[in-house]
Amino acid sequence: MSEADRSVDLDRDLDLDTPKGDRPRHSRTGNSVPEPRVASMFDSIAPVYDRINTIMTAGMDGRWRRAAVRAARLSPGDSALDVACGTGKLTAALAMAVGPVGRVVGLDLSTVMLDEARRAFGDLVQVEFRAGNALALPFEPRTFDAATIAFGLRNLASFEDGFRELARVLRPGGRVVCLELTMPRPRIAGRLYSAVFGRMAPVMGTAFGRRDAYSYLPDSLEGFPDAGELAETMRRVGLANVTVRRLALGAVALHVGEVG
């Protein structure tokens, strides 16, 4: 068993029958922050985004991306779409899975994030980075074998429409993979994480001169649907065999659904 496999085995599967009392009473259906403001915010943090992520996750973000790639079940020669690709780390990991004869498109609303991605991974022949909106993907139906979105869903104006668009561009049998922060269950470790994250993000942002942007991150989790609710959202758009796996003491959820 590889180190990556062992890292996932340390996590726990999610019980979708989460008690109703543990769920937020009024979960949001989308992000109320206007898209231009979201894009501007990510433009501003693009130069420091990877460094802050590595520090805040203690390097565990790499494990989560590897889990997402495995969940996509790509083969050499396949095609994949990585929405809200940011600086392109997951896009590049997907490219390794499809090989040089495959195709991966990384799409993001932030042009500065895309500039960072091209600088880091522009030499990968199977990768293309494009500006675009996750709620109006510029692709024909049944174009890709898998579609991923990592830590970008909570920035969309409609979570359901985001999943619907991801499903639309997949071929039958294709997989939608969503990696996202989630509120941990109300246990000691979860409450501790929430408290630390709520304070750490703004502090890290201040250290790198980006306090306003990094104050947005913990705020974006307020009212965000829990993992079970997101699974139901995926089912509503027609995705089948929806599964959820919690990572990082329940603070990250890996959702997977298949197109029929």
pLDDT at 49: 86
Q: Is residue 91 part of a domain?
A: yes
pLDDT higher than threshold 90 for residue 191: no
Torsion, CA 155, CA 143, CA 68, CA 227, rounded to 10: 50
- What is the spatial distance between Cα 79 and Cα 89, in angstroms, rounded to a whole number? 16
Q: Is residue 49 part of a domain?
A: yes
Which tens digits make up the pLDDT trace of 136-181? 999 999 999 999 999 999 999 999 999 999 999 999 999 999 999 8
pLDDT at 220: 72
DSSP label at residue 221: T
pLDDT at 196: 60
pLDDT at 223: 85
Neighbours of 203 (CB within 10 A): 12
Label residue 215 by pLDDT band (50, 70, 90). low
pLDDT at 58: 81
Q: Sort 177 into a burial class: Cβ within 10 Å, 0-12 / 13-18 / 19+.
A: buried
Tokens 């993992």, residue located: 227
pLDDT at 251: 85
pLDDT higher than threshold 70 for residue 241: yes
pLDDT higher than threshold 90 for residue 92: yes
pLDDT at 243: 98
Q: Is residue 202 part of a domain?
A: no
> Domain total for the chain?
1
How high does pLDDT run on average in the chain?
Answer: 85
Q: Is residue 216 part of a domain?
A: no
DSSP label at residue 97: H
Name the CA radius of gyration of the chain, rounded: 17
Neighbours of 76 (CB within 10 A): 10
The residue range of the domain holding 125 is: 3-12+28-184+223-258
pLDDT at 186: 61
Q: Sort 166 into a burial class: Cβ within 10 Å, 0-12 / 13-18 / 19+.
A: buried
* CATH number of the domain within which 90 lies: 3.40.50.150
3-state secondary structure 20-84: HHHCCCCCCCCCCCCHHHHHHHHHHHHHHHHHHHHHHCCCCHHHHHHHHHHHHCCCCCCEEEEEC
Q: Is residue 22 part of a domain?
A: no
Q: Is residue 217 part of a domain?
A: no
pLDDT at 133: 98
Q: Please give the residue that has the higher pLDDT: either 133 or 191.
A: 133
Which tens digits make up the pLDDT trace of 23-50? 444 689 999 999 999 999 899 889 988 9
Q: Is residue 133 part of a domain?
A: yes
Label residue 17 by pLDDT band (50, 70, 90). very low
Residues near 231 by beta carbon (within 8 Å), at least 6 away in sequence: 16, 242, 243, 244, 255
- What is the spatial distance between Cα 201 and Cα 220, in angstroms, rounded to a whole number? 12
Q: Is residue 214 part of a domain?
A: no
pLDDT higher than threshold 90 for residue 19: no
pLDDT at 250: 83
